[in-house]
Structure 1
Amino acid sequence: MLCVQSQGTTADTPPPRSEAVARVVFSLLGYARWPTEREVLRLCVDGSARYGAKLAEGGVLATGRSVQSRRIDLQDGVSTAGCDSVYLGPMTDARRKKLSTELIGRPVLVITEEDYECEIGSMFCLNVVDGHVSFRVNLDSVARSGIHIHPAVLQLGRRRGPSP
């Protein structure tokens, strides 16, 4: 079960968006298992990310595992080497395809914001509305990454068909 806890807010007052995003991202990271686990998880936050401020501070997952964050600027061609996970802001399809090519064969969990199609290289695509965060899952990208994601999380983010 994916549990996203809110601290210091009431049900009527949504947390700031960057905090809500950080809680969801840290929860997703907590339910992921890499082929080779590290003591400290390395999260790279793209400078174009609108909701990456809280993520850039790093933190600790519910499992007790530390998350070390660093900012990267993919606009300037900075590599994702040394990243176990990448949090991306909005980008063009061409830029997304280039990054996807760079990550082929590497176990890097890719989480994006404002990728509504969730098709090219992204594994989890966040939708942020009024401080509430939902996500979609690209099962093909997850399968190709070699990262194991808890099945309950995959069910939460599965694509739903159009409503009747």
Structure 2
Amino acid sequence: MKRSKHAGSATHTARGFFRSLLFSRPYVLGLLLLMSFTGQSATEPAERVQSRTQAVTTVVLGIISYTRWPAPPNPVRLCVTAPTHYADGLFSPLLLQAPHPIKTQRLPLDSDQLAQQCDVIYLGEVSNAQRQALIPRIAGHSVLVISENDAECSAGSAFCLQPRGEQVSFKVNLDALARSGVRVHPNVLQLARKLESS
């Protein structure tokens, strides 16, 4: 199927936005350059998995760096839950050495700690019912949810990654973001609108 010219342009816009974000934050760029990615999927070539993993890491770290919590966490507690395909880069121990450190842990989807121990939840492969069930469990806590696999972005995640080839763009659910209790820089939201309209 032929991709539209605008879709390709929007994906490059996302990549360029977060690339410029990283250059404005040299410590994150340095961490990304030092990371090695080992995750592979049985249904995808290793090269594509590695490229997507790198792209996911860039986008997720970019979103986190533009997010503000009512009480700034130190470190930012990033929790990965449910089966994931592209989250390996988020587990680099180097993220803890950054000026704004990120501590990543994997928790089961049914864990009671998701609300109390996480500032960001990276949500892997789940059903819509499971995604919806997570919402009341984290209500009242300042938790940003980023979904790896939610094409429609209508079931509770604030940000939804959209892999396209070797690139990754994203959608934003403004209702879910408003409920999350965190604030995200307007430039990120403007980019999301541009990607969705392309």
Residue 127 in 1 paired to residue 142 in 2? no
Q: Can you give the 5+ residue segments of structure 2 that lack an aligned partner in the other structure?
A: 1-15, 23-31, 35-46
Q: What residue identity is the alignment partner of 2:80?
A: V
- Match of 2:37? none
8 Å contact 1:18–1:53 — kept in the other structure?
A: yes
Q: 3-state DSSP class of the match of 2:106?
A: strand
Which of 92, 95, 100 in structure 1 is aligned with 2:127?
Answer: 92
- Match of 2:87? 52
Shift of 1:64: 2.6
* Greater strand share, structure number: 1
Residues 31-66 of structure 1: CA deviation (Å, up to 9, x unaligned): 0000111221000011411111111225449x8300
Matches for 1:72-87 after TM superposition, within 5 Å:
72-74=107-109, 77-79=110-112, 80=114, 81-87=116-122
Percent sequence identity over aligned pairs: 38
Residue 117 in 1 paired to residue 152 in 2? yes
How much is the aligned-residue C-alpha RMSD, in angstroms? Answer: 2.4
8 Å contact 2:73–2:119 — kept in the other structure?
A: no
Shift of 1:160: 3.6
Structure 2 CA distance, aligned partners of 1:60 and 1:152? 24
What TM-score do the two structures reach when normalised by structure 1?
A: 0.84
Residue 18 in 1 paired to residue 53 in 2? yes
8 Å contact 1:124–1:137 — kept in the other structure?
A: yes
Q: 3-state DSSP class of the match of 2:18?
A: coil
Shift of 1:111: 0.2
What TM-score do the two structures reach when normalised by structure 2?
A: 0.70
Which of 18, 34, 41 in structure 1 is aligned with 2:69?
Answer: 34
8 Å contact 1:59–1:68 — kept in the other structure?
A: no
- Match of 2:18? 3
Q: Which has the larger radius of gyration?
A: 2
